[in-house]
Amino acid sequence: MIKRTVAIGLSTVLVLGMIGCSNNKENANNDVTNIKVEAREALPGEWSQDLTREEVAELNKEILSRVEETATFYGLDYEITEEVKEDTNGLSINDNHINIDIEDPEPNRIESMYYGFKQYGTDLASGELVMKISSILDKKAIEEEGTFDFGATSFSTFSEAFTGVTGRDYSELNQQIYDMITGNNNVTTIENNLDGVRETISITDDFLLYTLQTKEYQFK
């Protein structure tokens, strides 16, 4: 199973260029479950070891419990749903997830959160664990503050609920996010390797999307 350690090796990828995304508040309020997470090659780390469906299901149970505890701590209403749907290519997806959707979110705070165990194919031959959190940024307030403290946000608490790891040093990530917000670089996306979990932070206009994604585990 996955080893929980405080020290996380980070390998950061900065993605340059523009991402096509509307800054329209109505579009930004769409449920993050509708945002597609692109499948990519597995990253090195403990989370990328081969696991059975039962082992991933047990991990999901542990993470879901921590996510529920975090939502309760912040006084956030949530909904747990299991649904079967098809993607645009007709692939069957069994999606067991928890979702938070805040109707009138405050700037720089969580707008919506999704965490789920997705299994693919009618035979559930593969699956992955995914978390997605969105926020509407008040860039002016952040620039006036002169800093962005990821560790002081509920983003970090939900992230730790996923990984099971606490005590992470966010200083480098804080500076990278602040530089994206203030336009001090041409970076639109940051990618980190959290011991095999892909962490992605994307900012377009005033919309921030935070994603955690394991590899797609092959069960058969």
Instruction: Please list the pLDDT of the chain residue by residue as tens digits (220 residues).
Output: 444 433 333 444 554 443 333 344 444 444 555 544 555 678 999 999 999 999 999 999 999 999 999 999 999 999 999 999 998 889 999 999 999 999 999 999 999 999 999 999 999 999 999 999 999 999 999 999 999 999 999 999 999 999 999 999 999 999 999 999 998 777 789 999 999 999 999 998 899 999 999 999 999 7
142: which residues sit within 8 A by CB, 6+ positions away? 108, 148, 178, 181, 182
CA dihedral angle for residue 75, residue 96, residue 203, residue 10, rounded to 10 degrees:
100
Q: Do the beta carbons of residue 14 and residue 202 sit within 8 Å?
A: no
CA pair distance 127, 129, nearest whole angstrom: 7
* Residue 192 CA to its chain's centroid (Å): 12
CA pair distance 49, 44, nearest whole angstrom: 9
Q: What is the pTM of this model?
A: 0.82
CA-based end-to-end distance of the chain: 18
